Each structure stands twice: as structure tokens, then as C-alpha cells.
Amino acid sequence: MTKRFLSGIKPSGDLNIGGYIGALRQFVQLQEEGECFFFIPDLHAITVAQDPKELRERSRQLAAFYIAAGIDPERNAIFMQSHVPAHAELGWIMETQAHFGEMSRMTQFKDKSAGKDNVSAALFTYPALMAADILLYGATHVPVGDDQKQHLELTRDLATRFNNRYGKTFVVPEPMIQEVGARVMGLDDPSSKMSKSNPNASSYILLLDEPKLIRKKFSRAVTDSDMSVRYDWETKPAVSNLIEIFSVFSGMGIGEVEKHFEGQGYGNFKKELAEVVVEKLDPIQQKYAEIVHSEELDRILRRGAEQAAQVANETLRSAKDAMGLLLL
Ligand code: ATP
Ligand code: LTN
């Protein structure tokens, strides 16, 4: 069976290297292994208030990053979620299948709603829409970071429940979580994930950060008490995080990185780390600047939405039919 991959990154903040390592980089590799649908979940972004101008801008930027990082729009559909109405429609249908209890156990909701007064109802039902995103395309594999595992489990449960109740309609997808880099942690605190929502800008490296800033941020990154560059999440979480970043950007294995820096202190390690990151981001930043404001990008998104809608509408129709919604 050919594999079908689907995934997306929310346009809710500027893309950082956590999202690049945990998601985008993998998307690029998967093009060689099957059919791909890479979209921008803007309907998910608006579950928390967004500034309209920024949302519009970030959506373009993210699409440009998909292409700049190496996703080939000639081979794969790249599209905005809100351009394919079937997402919202199947999202509603999946809400009818989800139980209040299981939705209440979603840790991302608990984290994002903790201590807040006016949390939107959509933030709560968010995972049902995510299930719809995936099921519409019959995705067999969903590459995501570690934090999305629970949402994938729920998607599988909802698909199975629907199939058992109404007959086989959906493909039950497999999560794909890579080993190294599944969870890139903040440079200021190795106990919380590197996140674009963190108010401390030194905690993350943005894909658009200039070389000078990247060097500065890495030089300030927290380390652990002893001085060796050793990979051990138990006792050396901060350094282990930096080793993973080095490994991904240099293409060296974890063991190789340790060996490379044997007997050296943190100073040199951080310097080389900054250089491999700068070097890897440079061509991506250049390509990004070329396309972000181009009409070509509009054309790619329009074509992507058309291709996606063809597949999505068919699945939506089958789901409606299976449930007994009157089709004409
Ligand atoms: P927020 O931090 O605002 O909650 P997010 O970065 O988790 O957002 P997305 O931008 O939609 O959410 O993430 C896109 C993908 O990147 C997801 O698959 C997510 O798991 C992955 N990802 C995001 N941050 C990291 C990280 N620090 N380490 C590894 N993967 C990450
Ligand atoms: N929930 C994800 C973004 C997302 C997604 C999806 C990922 C929305 N729909 C479908 C994979 C497949 C997040 O917060 N990172």
C-alpha cells in the first residue's frame, strides 16, 4: 500500500527550530516515501485570539517556509486549511463522535487553558478538528512532535468508533514520532519545550533569526553543572538538548557529536553549534525571501487547495452518507 502522509504547522507564531526539527524537516524527507499533504492549520490557530494582520502575514510566511525548506509544490499539495471547507464540516461531524470525557483529558487543552478566564469553546474541541484534518485525506502516517501523540491517539479512537458504528469509512492513521528531536527544549529551560509562545525570545531560535542573533542566543543558552559535552537527559538535560540540535543540523549521530567535543568545554561547543545552525538556515532564508511576497506563492496555494478539496470532498461525502445525512 502506498503511504500517504499528512501534517501541518499552525500559523500562531514565528517558526522556530523546534518546529523545523520536529516537523518541517521531516515533511521534506517524506516526499520521497509517499504521497504528501502538507497544510497550514489556520482554523486551529484561531482557537486563541490572533491579530488579523499578523495571522494573514504568518500564514504566507509559513507557506513560504514549507517551500523554502524543500517541500516541492509540483509534487505535493500545499494548502491553507481554511481554503478547504470540508475541514470545518468534518470537524463538526467528529465532534459528534468525541466524548466530553476523553476530550477533557487532552493535556494540550489543560496546558493552554490553565489559569485563563475566557478560553474559547473551540480550544476544547480542537482535537476533533485535527482528527478531521487527518481523516479527510485517508492519511496512513502523520509525522508530528511528541506533544501531538495524544491527539493522534484520539484521532485513531474516533476513526475506529465511526467505522464500527457506520461501516468502514476512514483509514486509521499511524503517528510518526522521530527519536531524536521529537522534543526540542527551550534554550533557557530544558524542562519546557521550545515554543514560539514563550515570551522570552532567547529561549528559541527563529528560522528567520539573523546569524548574529543566533550566535548570541546560543552563547546564552543554559548548560549543566559539569563541563563535559555528554548526552544524558537524566543528569544533563540542557546539554543533551543542545547535542540533539547539533546532531540534526550537522547530520552527525549523537555518539559522533560527543566524540567530536570530547575534552572540550561548552564555549567551543556552543560556537560550533551556532555555526552549523547558521549554515543550514542560510539557503532556507534566501529562498524564503524570494517567494514570500510572490504571486507564485498565491498560485501554489490555490492549486494546492483545489487538489486537496478533491480528495477531502469525497471522504466527507462518504462520511455523511454513512451517517444517514440526506445526500441529493
Ligand atoms: P505552540 O508552541 O504555540 O503551542 P507548537 O509549536 O506546538 O505551537 P505547531 O507550530 O503547530 O505548534 O507545531 C508544529 C509541529 O512542530 C508539531 O508537530 C509539533 O509537535 C512540532 N514542534 C513544535 N515545537 C516543537 C519542539 N520544541 N520540539 C519538537 N517538535 C516541535
Ligand atoms: N495540533 C497540531 C497542528 C495540527 C496538525 C493537524 C498536525 C492541526 N491539524 C493534523 C498534524 C495533522 C499542533 O498543535 N502542532
Domain boundaries in the chain?
4-181+295-323, 201-289
Residue 158 CB less than 6 A away from ligand 1: no
Residue 205 CB less than 6 A away from ligand 2: no
**Are the C-beta atoms of residues 270 and 278 closer than 8 Å to each other?**
no
C-alpha cell at 172: 486509521
Q: What is the DSSP letter of 282?
A: H
Among all bound ligands, the one having the nearest atom to the CA of 12 is 1
Contacts of 313 (CB under 8 A, 6+ apart): 86
Closest CA to 12 of 267, 216, 197: 197
Going from the Cα of 131 to the center of ligand 1, the distance in angstroms, rounded, reads: 17
Instruction: Report the nearest-CA residue for atom 20 of ligand 1.
Output: 145
Going from the Cα of 203 to the center of ligand 2, the distance in angstroms, rounded, reads: 22
Q: Which atom of ligand 1 is nearest to the CA of 145?
A: 20
Instruction: Report the nearest-CA residue for atom 8 of ligand 2.
Output: 130
Residue 184 CB less than 6 A away from ligand 1: yes
Specify the pLDDT at position 134: 98
Decide: helix, strand or coil at residue 165. Answer: helix
Residue 25's H or E segment, with its range, is: helix 25-30
Residue 177 CB less than 6 A away from ligand 1: no
Q: 254-262: list long-range contacts, CB under 8 Å, 24+ apart.
A: 254/180, 255/231, 257/229, 257/231, 258/229, 258/230, 258/231, 261/229, 262/229
Specify the pLDDT at position 116: 93
Going from the Cα of 316 to the center of ligand 2, the distance in angstroms, rounded, reads: 19
**Are the C-beta atoms of residues 274 and 218 closer than 8 Å to each other?**
yes
Residue 183 CB less than 6 A away from ligand 1: yes
Specify the pLDDT at position 177: 86
Going from the Cα of 100 to the center of ligand 1, the distance in angstroms, rounded, reads: 25
CATH architecture of the domain with residue range 201-289: Orthogonal Bundle (1.10)
pLDDT in tens, 197-250: 788 999 999 999 999 999 999 999 999 888 899 999 999 999 999 999 999 999
C-alpha angle 111/114/118, rounded to 5°?
Answer: 120
Residue 294 CB less than 6 A away from ligand 1: no
Q: In angstroms, rounded to a whole number, what is the distance separating the alpha carbons of residues 225 and 236?
A: 8
Going from the Cα of 320 to the center of ligand 1, the distance in angstroms, rounded, reads: 32
Task: Sheet with 141-143: list strands edge to edge.
Answer: 77-80, 34-40, 3-8, 141-143, 174-176
**Are the C-beta atoms of residues 12 and 56 closer than 8 Å to each other?**
no
Going from the Cα of 128 to the center of ligand 1, the distance in angstroms, rounded, reads: 18
Among all bound ligands, the one having the nearest atom to the CA of 15 is 1
Instruction: Report the nearest-CA residue for atom 13 of ligand 1.
Output: 9
Regarding beta strands 77-80 and 34-40, do their DSSP bridges make them parallel or antiparallel, or are they unpaired? parallel
**Are the C-beta atoms of residues 297 and 64 closer than 8 Å to each other?**
yes
Catalytic residue numbers read 112, 193, 196
Q: Which atom of ligand 2 is nearest to the CA of 6?
A: 12
CATH architecture of the domain with residue range 4-181+295-323: 3-Layer(aba) Sandwich (3.40)
Specify the pLDDT at position 241: 97
Specify the pLDDT at position 182: 76
Neighbours of 197 (CB within 10 A): 10
User: What is the full per-residue pLDDT of the chain (328 aa) written as tens digits?
Assistant: 799 999 999 999 889 999 999 889 999 999 999 999 999 999 999 999 999 999 999 999 999 999 999 999 999 999 999 999 999 999 999 999 999 999 999 999 999 999 999 999 999 999 999 999 999 999 999 998 888 999 999 999 999 999 999 999 999 999 998 877 778 999 999 999 998 778 899 999 999 999 999 999 999 999 988 889 999 999 999 999 999 999 999 999 999 999 999 999 899 999 999 999 999 999 999 999 999 999 999 999 999 999 999 999 999 999 999 999 999 9
DSSP result, 238-251? HHHHHHHHHHHHH-
C-alpha cell at 116: 485563563
Instruction: Report the nearest-CA residue for atom 5 of ligand 1.
Output: 195
